[in-house]
Amino acid sequence: MSLVRLLILLFAGHALCDYPLQGDYLAKSKNQKLCGDSAGLQLHLFYHAMIQGAMVLLVTSSSVLAIAEILIHGITDWAKCEGKITGRVDQAIHIGCKLAWALIAWRSQWRGI
């Protein structure tokens, strides 16, 4: 798969998973400041990160990149919900990860990894 195709699929997948597939329910329930439910907070944050990880797996066919996406996406969204980073920084990290995953997946296909 070409690098441009990987980038388009990962960026479009990110937009789809971070907005319509996340929806209002997950967006609020993963943020304790918006819902006040600390018990479900981690679970809903994990669900959202899993949706993103599944998209990375579908596009790149890499379990390693999917796991990296789940971890980094979850930590980044947690930091945003806690007010430690802004929404712009959150999105910059997400986009930077998609760039990295595309480059890694593209290079690995030529190395046979």
pLDDT digits (tens, 9 = 90+) for 70-79: 999 999 998 9
pLDDT interval class at 33 (50, 70, 90): low
pLDDT at residue 81 is higher than 60: yes
45, 77 Cβ separation under 8 angstroms: yes
| CA 64 from centre of chain | 14
Please tell me the predicted confidence (pLDDT) of residue 92. 97
Three-state SS letters, the chain: CCHHHHHHHHHHHHHHHHCCCCHHHHHHHCCHHHHCCHHHHHHHHHHHHHHHHHHHHHHHCCHHHHHHHHHHHHHHHHHHHCCCCCHHHHHHHHHHHHHHHHHHHHHHHHHCC
In angstroms, the CA 108 to CA 7 distance is 15
Angle at 46 between CA 42 and CA 51, to 5 degrees: 155
| % of the chain with per-residue pLDDT over 90 | 58
Please tell me the predicted confidence (pLDDT) of residue 45. 85
Q: Which of 67-71, 88-92, 102-106, 108-112 has the lowest mean pLDDT?
A: 108-112
pLDDT at residue 4 is higher than 90: yes
- Mean per-residue pLDDT, 63-71: 97
Q: The pTM is what?
A: 0.84
